[in-house]
Structure 1
Amino acid sequence: MKKLMIAGAVNGMLAVALGAFGAHGLKEKLSPEMLDVFKTGVQYHMYHALALLLVALAASKLGDDGVKWPGRLFMTGIVLFSGSLYVLSISDVKWLGAITPFGGVCFIAGWLLFAHAAYKKL
């Protein structure tokens, strides 16, 4: 699961970089409410970067089939959930808020499938 490990590491780096950008580059440009939206995106981005690393490490116990879909769903969730919050906070395009819940559903489904794989294999 080399790809998942790399995806987790790269997404962890992106979450840190975006967090720093938000704290230093956007603090004066965004309203406090939109800055909180951006921070929420960073927070869930980092959580699921770590989840990707966890899934990659669990591949040896759960097998590739047990971690493939959780990994895909976590990646999709990062793009939809965190990505929509980043763009929403910077652009103030309100309809992007309609995309965010689909990312949340991906996160939830990823965790459920990860738990199911653990239950089946361990």
Structure 2
Amino acid sequence: MKFFLIAGALNALLSVGFGAFGAHLLEGRVADKYLDTWQTAVQYQMFHSIGLMVVAILMSSSLLGPLSSLNWAGYLMLAGIIIFSGSLYVLSLTGISILGAITPIGGVAFIAGWIMLIVAAAKAL
């Protein structure tokens, strides 16, 4: 539980920082399409940072308790942040288009993480 709360809060902090970096330091230095890509990475990182904190709260509450599916949900969301948002950040800074092929793996991790959260709720309720 503690791990996912810290990971969620840290990723939220990084998301805000990366958002500011993109808005203030990348504008005019990278193509507009890459600024949009950067913003997508920031948004998905923040959404799933909140998801990680929700997983942590659910793990600590008596509502769902410590289910292995909650662990999977948290790890998959974290992997999704690293792979999805990470690949988009690097793509935005370098323009290496092959990184776009890696991004969907992170998207699948996000989807699987939400599915595991549904599974946890279904098992507990």
Taking structure 2 as the reference length, the TM-score comes to: 0.95
2:42 paired residue number = 42
Counterpart CA distance in 2 for 1:62 and 1:115 is 11
Counterpart CA distance in 2 for 1:62 and 1:111 is 15
The answer to whether the aligner puts 1:100 opposite 2:83 as a matched pair is no
Aligned-CA RMSD value: 0.7
State the AA in 1 paired with 2:64: L
SS at match of 2:90: helix
2:81 paired residue number = 78
The answer to whether the aligner puts 1:27 opposite 2:17 as a matched pair is no
The answer to whether the aligner puts 1:5 opposite 2:8 as a matched pair is no
Q: Note the C-alpha offset of 1:62.
A: 2.1
Q: Note the C-alpha offset of 1:76.
A: 0.2
Counterpart CA distance in 2 for 1:13 and 1:47 is 12
Residue-pair matches, total: 122
Q: Note the C-alpha offset of 1:66.
A: 3.2
Identity %: 51
1:62 paired residue number = 64
The answer to whether the aligner puts 1:17 opposite 2:17 as a matched pair is yes
Deviates more, 1:44-53 or 1:57-66: 57-66
State the AA in 1 paired with 2:24: H
Taking structure 1 as the reference length, the TM-score comes to: 0.97
State the AA in 1 paired with 2:88: L
State the AA in 2 paired with 1:84: S
Counterpart CA distance in 2 for 1:117 and 1:29 is 44
Q: Note the C-alpha offset of 1:28.
A: 1.4
